[in-house]
Amino acid sequence: MSRGDARDMTEPAEVTSLIAALRTGEVTLAEVADSFRRRSWPRTRRAAPRTSLEMAEQQDPEPDVPGSYDELTGAYDRGELTAEQYDALAEAIAESIRSDAGRPARS
């Protein structure tokens, strides 16, 4: 299966499931990081505010996006990941996002 095919098949619940499997020892940190590198990650950043109204709106946080980097930070904030695990997985996500940025948009 090509990298593109693997990215298309991932489910948002996969992030939570992989973190849970890491915690129970069913998978290794390297396996989770590899999976994170292969998947696409939804963008969760808002555009920079241009008006005072947009700035005020950004003070009200958006809900977490399922299957996004938000799930990783949530797991870390809840104490489900060590700092080392968080750093390794965050880097894997960053690699995936950088890789996606270099690709033409899918139609």
User: CA 86 → CA 48, 56, 82, 106, distances in Å?
Assistant: 26, 31, 6, 29
pLDDT value for 81? 97
Q: Which of 6, 15, 1 is nearest to 68 (CA)?
A: 15
The whole-number pLDDT of residue 91 equals: 97
Please list the ranges in the chain whose pLDDT falls under 50.
Answer: 1-10, 106-107
Contact criterion met (CB below 8 Å) for 66 and 12:
yes
**Which residue type is seen at 11?**
E
Residue of 45, 102, 101 whose CA lies nearest to 69 = 45
